[in-house]
């Protein structure tokens, strides 16, 4: 069975994602589509709008055959580490090809740029250091360094977010030396940072989340998400009374910062260069997460970088713990859901997997398992007051979703 992998967040799954899935299968002539999906917290340092289980169900109903989780240690990272983790998971599952959405829409420039950057790595590193010495953020320094290199050798722009991730997927394939090809689907209509839902059928996830967090609500997005996604979004807010936003978690974040000493904050992953003192100073001046981030933001640190730091503070993720997980091989692969086609594929490859494929977190051991279990519990905290079910144990005990190919039934394994 020929397989194609996609790296997703589905926050939430919208019509643009559905189009990407169709194109990925068509371009690669794949028999099975495997999605490695971020779990509770995402690459930009945000809580997922709704749980991994609802988003996995969205994926299966939209045409994905297997959904596995990208562990927290990779899902909340800068592009390079995020991409490396995703490629590790897809490679372990024997995926033939990764297909990603990009502003470029053509794959050759990604390969060309990876080769070009390897040949010019020393100059690249020196230029980034020179740019950062001026006080700018790393992404800004990297972009300016790229401009200073012989850019006419490549037509690929690294100022666009999906191109950046695509470049790092191709780079990770090369660095890890895995037998996987890459292909890309051009993004259509809406771009990553678009903030408005228009009358067109495709909108960015950013604009959809903005509408859901404001007064426009669900009705305003019905034309830009599949009916199945709409129904799951509706059921989630009916069941739990909320979607997950940073404002929900802000009181818990305040508590973590205020109870911590500077030394304790300094041990948190991504807390560098005296940021611990700025965290303590600004947290006492803000009453909302948005207000606090505005106070915390500096020229040197991007909003996304600071949101990721906030996530690690909330989840008490230390530098030592993160290093232990990311410097070792994958401890396991967490299966979130599959259909009958996906089950056939997994039955074929499971004997060759380099690590266990687990159906429940209760079956996992080690630092990565402890981290993922803790993160899932923290993510669930705001749901407890809105629902009497034992949601704190939900992720620990949940089994994968099994979807019948006829779409008429889904169940737990």
Question: Is 9 annotated for ligand binding?
Answer: yes
> Rounded to whole angstroms, how far apart are CA atoms 3 and 265?
43
Question: Is 66 annotated for ligand binding?
Answer: no
Q: Are 93 and 26 in contact (CB under 8 A)?
A: no
SS (H, E, C) 277-293: HHHHHHHCCCCCHHHHH
Read off the tokens for 337.
């859901």
Q: State the distance between the two ends of the chain, measured CA to CA, in whole angstroms.
A: 23
Question: Is 101 annotated for ligand binding?
Answer: yes
Question: Is 389 annotated for ligand binding?
Answer: no
Q: Are 288 and 250 in contact (CB under 8 A)?
A: yes
Question: Is 105 annotated for ligand binding?
Answer: no
Question: Is 93 annotated for ligand binding?
Answer: no
Q: Give the DSSP H or E segment for 124.
A: helix 121-132
Task: Give me the residues paired with residue 410 across strands.
Answer: 403
Separate counts of helices (H) and strands (E) for the chain: 19, 9
Question: Is 230 annotated for ligand binding?
Answer: no
Read off the tokens for 221.
């997005």
Q: Residue 79: helix, strand or coil by DSSP?
A: helix
Q: Are 58 and 12 in contact (CB under 8 A)?
A: yes
Q: Give the DSSP H or E segment for 337.
A: strand 333-339
Q: Give the DSSP H or E segment for 167.
A: helix 161-176
Question: Is 166 annotated for ligand binding?
Answer: no
Question: Is 11 annotated for ligand binding?
Answer: yes
Pick from 92, 41, 72, 93: which is nearest to 325 by CA?
A: 72
Question: Is 7 annotated for ligand binding?
Answer: yes
Question: Is 19 annotated for ligand binding?
Answer: yes
Provide long-range contacts, Cβ within 8 A and 24+ apart, for 113-117: 113/154, 113/156, 113/158, 113/167, 113/170, 114/167, 114/170, 114/171, 114/174, 116/149, 116/150, 116/153, 116/154, 117/171
Question: Is 59 annotated for ligand binding?
Answer: no
Q: Are 35 and 64 in contact (CB under 8 A)?
A: yes
Question: Is 16 annotated for ligand binding?
Answer: yes
> Rounded to whole angstroms, how far apart are CA atoms 65 and 247?
34
Feature table: binding site: 7-20, 101, 162, 187
Feature table: binding site for ATP: 7-20, 101, 162, 187
């Amino acid at each position: 069975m020929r397989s194609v992998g996609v790296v997703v967040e589905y926050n939430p799954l919208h019509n643009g994602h559905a189009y990407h899935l169709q194109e990925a299968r068509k371009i690669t002539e794949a028999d099975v589509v495997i999605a490695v999906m971020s779990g509770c917290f995402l690459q930009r340092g945000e809580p997922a709008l709704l749980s991994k289980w609802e988003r996995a169900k969205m994926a299966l109903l939209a045409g994905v055959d297997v959904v596995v989780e990208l562990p927290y240690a990779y899902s909340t990272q800068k592009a390079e580490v995020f991409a490396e983790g995703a490629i590790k998971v897809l490679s372990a599952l024997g995926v033939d090809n990764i297909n990603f959405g990009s502003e470029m829409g053509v794959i050759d420039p990604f390969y060309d740029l990876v080769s070009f950057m390897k040949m010019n790595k020393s100059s690249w590193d020196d230029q980034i250091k020179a740019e950062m010495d001026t006080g700018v953020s790393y992404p800004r320094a990297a972009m300016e360094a790229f401009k200073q290199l012989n850019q006419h050798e490549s037509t690929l722009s690294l100022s666009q977010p999906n191109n950046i991730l695509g470049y790092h997927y191709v780079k990770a394939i090369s660095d890890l030396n895995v037998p996987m090809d890459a292909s890309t689907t051009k993004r259509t209509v809406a771009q990553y940072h678009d903030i408005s839902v228009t009358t067109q059928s495709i909108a960015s996830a950013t604009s959809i989340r903005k509408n859901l967090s404001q007064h426009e609500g669900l009705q305003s997005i019905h034309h830009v998400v599949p009916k199945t996604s709409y129904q799951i979004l509706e059921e989630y807010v009916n069941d739990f009374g909320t979607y997950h936003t940073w404002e929900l978690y802000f009181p818990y974040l305040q508590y973590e910062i205020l109870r911590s000493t500077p030394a304790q904050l300094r041990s948190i992953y991504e807390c560098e260069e005296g940021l611990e003192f700025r965290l303590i100073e600004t947290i006492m001046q803000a009453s909302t997460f948005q207000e606090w981030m505005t106070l915390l933001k500096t020229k040197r640190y991007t909003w996304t970088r600071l949101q990721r730091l906030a996530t690690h503070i909330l989840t008490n993720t230390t530098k030592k713990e993160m290093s232990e997980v990311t410097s070792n091989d994958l401890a396991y692969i967490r299966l979130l859901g599959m259909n009958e086609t996906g089950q056939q594929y997994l039955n074929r490859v499971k004997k060759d997997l380099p690590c266990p494929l687990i159906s429940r977190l209760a079956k996992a051991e080690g630092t990565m398992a402890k981290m993922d279990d803790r993160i899932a519990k923290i993510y669930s905290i705001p749901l407890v007051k809105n629902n009497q079910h034992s949601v704190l144990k939900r992720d620990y005990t949940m089994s994968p979703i099994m979807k019948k190919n006829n779409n008429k039934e889904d169940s737990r394994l």
